[in-house]
Structure 1
Amino acid sequence: MGVGHLQRKLRRIFNVPKKGENSEFRTGLVSQYSDERKDTIQRVIAAMTVGKDVSSLFPDILKNIATHDLEQKKLVYLYLMNYAKTNPELCILATNTFVQDTRDPNPLVRALAIRTMGCIRVDKMVDYLCIPLKETLNDDNPYVRKTAAICVAKLFDLNSKLCTEQGFIDTLLEMLDDSNQTVVANAISALLEISKMSDAKLLNVNGVILKRLLLTLNECTEWGRISILVALADYDTQDSGEVEKIVEKVTPQLQHENPAVVLSSIKVILKQLEKVSSDTRERMLRRLTSPLCSLLTNPPEIQYVALKNIRIILEKYPQILARDLQAFFIKYSDPLYLKLEKIDILVRISTKENASILLSELREYAMDVDIQVVNRAIEAIGQLSIKIESISKKAVDILYELYLNRSSYVLEELVVVIQNILRRYDTKYLPTVITVIADLNFDDIDTPEAVSSYIWILGQYCKEIPHLEDRLKVMSEQFGEMDPLAQSSALTCIVKVNLTKSSANTRQLLQKILNKATNEIENADVRDQAYIYWRVLSTDDKALQKKIIMRKLPTLETTIETFSPGLLDQLINEISNLGSVFYKPSSAFIKPKYSDSAFVNKKKLQSRKLEELQQMAKTEIVQNAARAENLLDFEDSDIENEDEGTPEFQDAETKEDDVKNPTANANQILDELSDLFAGMSTQTPAQKAGNKGPQKNNDILGPF
């Protein structure tokens, strides 16, 4: 017995359970050696940055906040900012240290403390933030003041009412006269952010403030310059003198190494172009060509954003980059997304003078190994031929050359481009392009756009297509499997053929396709189109049939996509912003604000009592029932019920009583709903057996 007991005791000694990583961290954080504690905090931050959950160490980290080691204090503050939301109660324990640090002799510590307090997004922190923030906004050190200015915007996000009542916004406006340029820039940034959050323009630029902004522009940091440029872009100049001053001060920023500063400067100048003469406008636009092209020397990701912004500018001023065609030529090392954007820009800046050079370049792109580049190059050749008539013959010859060296994906894009060329030039190049169509079959093309274009050409130029009936037969057999776009084209094609080149076979195919379209096709548009054609063809007026069906389409002027004038003006304001990349205004990224009458605010909903929510639900049910009853009341309104004892008058009295007592009516409606759906329960027999308690109609309100 003694030996066995000793063995078990030894086994317990050596079989120590393994400690987790957090346990090791906790041991290091309470070490008596400061170096070990600091090293452990560094390891905790490293684990936090890679996504590990170290929130359980919050109390132990908090114990290390009181230190004179600035590096350790930064690490602890970083941890607190990250996990403050998960431990809001414990985070409040650090407020005394924060307040003390805002009065530390070291300005770095003061700035660090006020920055951290602003970054802790906890409502309870607001009460402790106001006094230190007022002190740091009036600090002697500009580094502390500039940090506190940004903190005002963070406070406004947490509690806008308190921020306004305490006069912090007025303090920001006063800081525009600060002697330090960086403080002025941060004050402007904070005011712009608050303006976005409050939907009110707080920074009203006048002549005095404009002069201050222009003086600050060259003295502050690059990110401060962006804020100033945003304010200048929103400023409505009063006369040409102000325009010249703004352009003169902003022009040097076009050479800045930061692309964001360059784009913001371009935006400011573009906003002023409408207020100057045409000669001055041309001179200003020439100044922008070099900065725009220099953006293409940046990494691919920045080039992509630059090209998106250039696309917007070209829509407004098409000739601005006409002389810089080669700057947008594709490089071998460019990623795919960059190649596609460059081809789009090349087509837009093309002119009669450079079209021939561009066409030769696009021909090389059409022989690339990447399918998407090839298809986009072929599409660009078609766009160029439609845009500039003088090189259309050369473009058609290049397309025919590509057809001779064809592959399946080239053929599909070729067919779409050929349709557009025929829409633009009709029969001018028909002998060349009809050769391509004559050699194609339905097996050669797959995409809905290509099939639709191919069918359209068959119907529009049916007299020039050899073996037309064989192709139409295949079309009728595959009609049910086609995409709705191709089905719509097939209907138009077969009807046109019967009006221009009718035969017994084509009439039979017409009847077959119309029967399929009206009886087997689920798409409503295709079905309606078939019914319309059927009705038109059933008339005896052949002239009317041709007038409706054979009507010539308008000449295609361009296939290059453009923005609507209203959207273009909005996108000019979005240059250098995220909206310019997606071609959407900022309002498209902001959730709409709903009134309380339509929707209940989430915070208000959580704070209301259960009884109030039940009453709200019951009232809504009563109102919906009343609306439904009114909608279903089809009685003649002209019948007058003079007798008060009639059923109609009694119903009116009943409704009036129901309105006076909505709770009783709601309970009655809920009882009826429960009885109605009693036989439709989805519970299993076991669940039904377990529900022995009395059933209440108010159970429907349980989720509230």
Structure 2
Amino acid sequence: MSGHDSKYFSTTKKGEIPELKEELNSQYKDKRKDAVKKVIAAMTVGKDVSSLFTDVVNCMQTENLELKKLVYLYLINYAKSQPDLAILAVNTFVKDSQDPNPLIRALAVRTMGCIRVDKITEYLCDPLQRCLKDDDPYVRKTAAICVAKLYDINAELVEDRGFLEALKDLISDNNPMVVANAVAALAEIQDSSTRPIFEITSHTLSKLLTALNECTEWGQVFILDSLSRYKAADAREAENIVERVTPRLQHANCAVVLSAVKIILLQMELITSTDVVRNLCKKMAPPLVTLLSAEPEIQYVALRNINLIVQKRPTILAHEIKVFFCKYNDPIYVKMEKLEIMIKLASDRNIDQVLLEFKEYATEVDVDFVRKAVRAIGRCAIKLERAAERCISVLLELIKIKVNYVVQEAIIVIKDIFRRYPNTYESIIATLCESLDTLDEPEAKASMIWIIGEYAERIDNADELLESFLETFPEEPALVQLQLLTATVKLFLKKPTEGPQQMIQAVLNNATVETDNPDLRDRAYIYWRLLSTDPEAAKDVVLAEKPVISDDSNQLDSSLLDDLLANISTLSSVYHKPPEAFVSRVKTAPRADDEEFADTAETGYSESPSQGVDGASPSSSAGTSSNVPVKQPAAPAAPAPMPDLLGDLMGMDNSIVPVDEPTAPSGPPLPVLLPSTTGQGLQISAQLVRRDGQIFYDISFDNGTQTVLDGFMIQFNKNTFGLAAGGALQVSPLQPGTSARTLLPMVAFQNLSPGAPSSLLQVAVKNNQQPVWYFNDKIPMHAFFGEDGKMERTSFLEAWKSLPDDNEFSKEFPSSVVSSIDATVEHLAASNVFFIAKRKNSNKDVLYMSAKIPRGIPFLIELTAAVGVPGVKCAVKTPNKEMVALFFEAMESLLKFGCGVVSQELIDSA
């Protein structure tokens, strides 16, 4: 539809279906066309217009290409739920596949491939066979993709009818787009087949290299990805391939560039000439650097790929370290990746530049980034022996700033430096001991305790220092307790005087009698027996030489690195995991509507365990292939989002971890968000709830279809509170006529949307048998009211006075009636709105209450109501004005449905 067709979405008439039926059967062409547009508009916004199936199909007999496209779109959507009626359209398809107009021929074959109904499949074969040999290249390239779709429905049929051979013939086609689509189809078929289907020979190699120069960018990606599986026979052939692929490095599309880099890296393994290799390394640097001037999401994907490349061939970017320096406005996920690459590229030649950068980063405001920068300095010291002293002097300068988390991170890395260079830099221990009082993080405490224990003989007051930690021994985390135990034993073995004797007795007693940690208890008993039976053996065990730690900047195993490099420009290279770790090879049928997901990039679904995947997201719409070009790269830290509604819906994520199956929730019925009429028999009901301080999505699935539904996955669009799935969706395969209800744990502030606050929560759910369903829910702000929201009266008064009058807002809730003050207070307390005080104002009660949402945003509330009289006035003061509208929405909801609060409508009806 064109931009002028938006009017079709605004129909709200009550008798819409009968009226549309009448218009679809009109004798006037224009009226029929308008009616079909209205039907498609209704279908797009989720209305069930399947009852108009026969009337819409009757409009297929038309020469108007636009109308035909709309009818075909309708057919694709409803054929699965109306398979018997869909067969009525077959004759028109067959007829259209022989139409003089190539656009209509291609449209007919494409639509028949998208209608996933077994009964129709057999009718598709003859038209498809004709179209694969059609005179028009547009029809041939459409038919090529159709073979892959048909293979997915019925692989046996495709092989019996010789379609695979026909596809292989198309690789020799004279049209580059036909070649590209044939390659894409064969690659897709190969991914779902256990035996070799598509093997490139030296003959087909030259055909593909020739087509490469002339097809579109995505055609080039398909061809390049297929070529990356070809192993050249010798160095000469490898050089030839690289020579033909190298011009692709100059392409404007990032996916083409990365696919070309992948092939060059793989073929370089076979090239023996050092001059050729050096020359290729020079050529690869500029395009990789250019990727870092793109938008942040593409930068992130490029950096994840570069991270792998520099581990294999650091010389490519050895002179380009400056491009990885962080800009002040880089998103945190880009900064973190740049930091990793800078460590990998750090060398004796550039270490001074790098340290200056790291030192600057260590004074920034983002705590996580500062920590990583401090740790990076330590990692450079471990990597570069000649630069270790310079790194340590920078760390000592940072310690002098006395920023708590910087000091703690510095101590952690200095401990590793001592391990790497024993008996070299211990002169700085005195400086470290000055910061002892500021340590409050387990890892930093454990590191400092290790240093004291390891160098006890060089520290005069080592026993006093350790004793300061021992006072809180029972409350310390296990990491600190274990380190304290070992350090005290070391001290005793090195200085067996009275002080350490008393300390060791206290520690061993604490670690054996007063602990329930088996690791700590076992270690303490071993030390106790060693010390009491053979102190010399104890020295050999506890004071033994420690293995020197090594540089961990290239932490990937070489075989895994080679596997990841073979998958550059796919999700595998972003996750740094081999495809089989997160992709199910059990093919789910790729539906027509799923193509939209393939085009919007990687998904970030939280998966049902019945999918058989390790809790990670699939890489393509059908969850089948890791070799999907990265079109819209995934953002890292927050698994992602819908185009507008849809385009963002797929993202990153990363980070979804299966959790123990929660207890099936019970309680009142949930609001229906996807009715069964819209969900082709599947009904979804859900709402956000708060249980024991944790937010869950209470979601129920009712299967009204005739098939088992499984492989349920869910994804949330970016939203005001950054809500995202905090675990896997636990739904067992759902038998016909049954329902399942589960609690999905949620995490907040990981999936934030920009712009004004909104209570809208956009959700996408998919399973193995149906299309993707989108629906909207509301985020009730009271689900975020924390258990720490109660304030003392004096604090409440001080906070109220300290906030300016501009921060006070009020709203009337005319439809609420308070029937009991006590019941209202009790009900609001259950939602973490806490009572502070009460006073009378003429004949009305005024309640003062407080609530708090995460990130420490308080709401100071004044409720004014007369018992039994309609109307409640709510006033609120808060430092965050933007959230006020959502707060009133939440309070009105709580007051409308609370105990002791009755709705005015109920009173009127009574």
Looking at structure 1, the residues matched to 211 and 189 of structure 2 have their Cα atoms a distance apart, in angstroms, of: 21
Structure 1 residue ranges without an equivalent (≥5): 1-16, 595-600, 603-702
Which string of whole-angstrom CA distances, capped at 9 and with x for unpartnered residues, describes residues 621-645 of structure 1? xxxxxxxxxxxxxxxxxxxxxxxxx
1:281 to 244, 265, 277: 277
1:460 to 454, 460, 464: 454
Q: Which has the higher strand share?
A: 2
1:328 to 324, 341, 344: 324
| 1:160 positional shift | 0.7
The reply to whether residue 590 of structure 1 matches residue 586 of structure 2 is: no
Equivalence for 1:413: 409
Which string of whole-angstrom CA distances, capped at 9 and with x for unpartnered residues, describes residues 172-191 of structure 1? 11112212121111111111
| 1:50 positional shift | 5.4
Which string of whole-angstrom CA distances, capped at 9 and with x for unpartnered residues, describes residues 400-427 of structure 1? 2222222222222112111112112234
2:345 to 349, 354, 358: 349
The reply to whether residue 550 of structure 1 matches residue 543 of structure 2 is: yes
The reply to whether residue 128 of structure 1 matches residue 123 of structure 2 is: yes
Equivalence for 2:426: 430
| 1:371 positional shift | 1.1
| 1:241 positional shift | 2.3
C-alpha spacing 1:51/1:426, structure 2 compared with 1 (3 Å):
farther
| 1:364 positional shift | 1.1
| 1:476 positional shift | 3.0
Give the counterpart letter for 1:533 in structure 2: Y
The reply to whether residue 119 of structure 1 matches residue 85 of structure 2 is: no
Which string of whole-angstrom CA distances, capped at 9 and with x for unpartnered residues, describes residues 291-327 of structure 1? 1111112111111111111111111112221100111
Looking at structure 2, the residues matched to 506 and 480 of structure 1 have their Cα atoms a distance apart, in angstroms, of: 19
**Correspondences of 1:646-661 after superposition (within 5 Å):** none
Equivalence for 2:668: none
Give the counterpart letter for 1:100 in structure 2: K
Looking at structure 2, the residues matched to 181 and 189 of structure 1 have their Cα atoms a distance apart, in angstroms, of: 12
TM-score with structure 2 setting the length: 0.60
Equivalence for 1:75: 70
Give the counterpart letter for 1:211 in structure 2: S
Which string of whole-angstrom CA distances, capped at 9 and with x for unpartnered residues, describes residues 417-445 of structure 1? 1111211223433223531233322xx33
| 1:470 positional shift | 4.1
Looking at structure 2, the residues matched to 371 and 234 of structure 1 have their Cα atoms a distance apart, in angstroms, of: 43
Contact kept? 1:438, 1:466, Cα under 8 Å: no
Give the counterpart letter for 2:146 in structure 1: C
Contact kept? 1:459, 1:492, Cα under 8 Å: yes
Give the counterpart letter for 2:572 in structure 1: G
C-alpha spacing 1:372/1:110, structure 2 compared with 1 (3 Å):
same
Equivalence for 1:448: 442
Equivalent pairs counted in the alignment come to 578
| 1:135 positional shift | 1.3
| 1:511 positional shift | 2.9
Give the counterpart letter for 2:86 in structure 1: C
Give the counterpart letter for 1:568 in structure 2: L
Looking at structure 1, the residues matched to 559 and 445 of structure 2 have their Cα atoms a distance apart, in angstroms, of: 35
Give the counterpart letter for 1:209 in structure 2: T
| 1:531 positional shift | 2.7
The reply to whether residue 564 of structure 1 matches residue 560 of structure 2 is: no
2:383 to 383, 387, 398: 387
1:65 to 35, 38, 60: 60
Which string of whole-angstrom CA distances, capped at 9 and with x for unpartnered residues, describes residues 127-164 of structure 1? 22111111111111110001000110111111111111
Equivalence for 1:478: 472
Which string of whole-angstrom CA distances, capped at 9 and with x for unpartnered residues, describes residues 361-395 of structure 1? 11111111111221111111111122122332222
**Correspondences of 1:366-381 after superposition (within 5 Å):** 366-381=362-377
**Correspondences of 1:498-537 after superposition (within 5 Å):** 498-537=492-531
Query: Which stretch shows the higher mean deviation, 490-499 or 162-171?
Result: 490-499
| 1:504 positional shift | 3.3
* CA RMSD in angstroms, aligned pairs only: 2.6
Contact kept? 2:371, 2:406, Cα under 8 Å: yes
Give the counterpart letter for 1:403 in structure 2: I
C-alpha spacing 1:579/1:21, structure 2 compared with 1 (3 Å):
farther
Looking at structure 2, the residues matched to 20 and 348 of structure 1 have their Cα atoms a distance apart, in angstroms, of: 68
C-alpha spacing 1:18/1:108, structure 2 compared with 1 (3 Å):
closer
Contact kept? 2:530, 2:538, Cα under 8 Å: yes
1:213 to 204, 208, 213: 208
C-alpha spacing 1:437/1:159, structure 2 compared with 1 (3 Å):
farther
Looking at structure 1, the residues matched to 508 and 467 of structure 2 have their Cα atoms a distance apart, in angstroms, of: 14
Give the counterpart letter for 1:557 in structure 2: S
Give the counterpart letter for 1:220 in structure 2: C
| 1:201 positional shift | 2.4
Give the counterpart letter for 2:356 in structure 1: S
Contact kept? 1:240, 1:275, Cα under 8 Å: yes
The reply to whether residue 538 of structure 1 matches residue 521 of structure 2 is: no
| 1:51 positional shift | 5.5
C-alpha spacing 1:400/1:592, structure 2 compared with 1 (3 Å):
same
Contact kept? 2:224, 2:260, Cα under 8 Å: yes
Query: Which stretch shows the higher mean deviation, 265-274 or 326-335?
Result: 326-335
Which string of whole-angstrom CA distances, capped at 9 and with x for unpartnered residues, describes residues 597-631 of structure 1? xxxx99xxxxxxxxxxxxxxxxxxxxxxxxxxxxx
C-alpha spacing 1:409/1:88, structure 2 compared with 1 (3 Å):
farther
Equivalence for 2:172: 177
Which of 1 and 2 has greater Rg? Answer: 1
Contact kept? 2:236, 2:271, Cα under 8 Å: no
Contact kept? 1:28, 1:37, Cα under 8 Å: yes
Looking at structure 2, the residues matched to 57 and 117 of structure 1 have their Cα atoms a distance apart, in angstroms, of: 20
**Correspondences of 1:661-680 after superposition (within 5 Å):** none
Which string of whole-angstrom CA distances, capped at 9 and with x for unpartnered residues, describes residues 231-254 of structure 1? 221111112221121111100000
The reply to whether residue 108 of structure 1 matches residue 103 of structure 2 is: yes
Query: Which stretch shows the higher mean deviation, 101-110 or 74-83?
Result: 74-83
C-alpha spacing 1:592/1:126, structure 2 compared with 1 (3 Å):
closer
| 1:21 positional shift | 6.8
Looking at structure 2, the residues matched to 567 and 86 of structure 1 have their Cα atoms a distance apart, in angstroms, of: 45
Query: Which stretch shows the higher mean deviation, 197-206 or 22-31?
Result: 22-31
Give the counterpart letter for 1:359 in structure 2: L
C-alpha spacing 1:192/1:440, structure 2 compared with 1 (3 Å):
same
Looking at structure 1, the residues matched to 70 and 585 of structure 2 have their Cα atoms a distance apart, in angstroms, of: 39
Contact kept? 1:400, 1:433, Cα under 8 Å: no
Looking at structure 2, the residues matched to 202 and 502 of structure 1 have their Cα atoms a distance apart, in angstroms, of: 74
Give the counterpart letter for 1:67 in structure 2: T
2:259 to 258, 261, 264: 264
| 1:19 positional shift | 1.9
Give the counterpart letter for 2:435 in structure 1: D
TM-score with structure 1 setting the length: 0.77
Which string of whole-angstrom CA distances, capped at 9 and with x for unpartnered residues, describes residues 491-517 of structure 1? 211211111123334333323333333
**Correspondences of 1:1-400 after superposition (within 5 Å):** 19=14, 29=24, 34-46=29-41, 48-49=43-44, 58-277=53-272, 278-400=274-396
| 1:76 positional shift | 2.7
C-alpha spacing 1:138/1:457, structure 2 compared with 1 (3 Å):
same
Give the counterpart letter for 1:213 in structure 2: L
Which string of whole-angstrom CA distances, capped at 9 and with x for unpartnered residues, describes residues 659-697 of structure 1? xxxxxxxxxxxxxxxxxxxxxxxxxxxxxxxxxxxxxxx
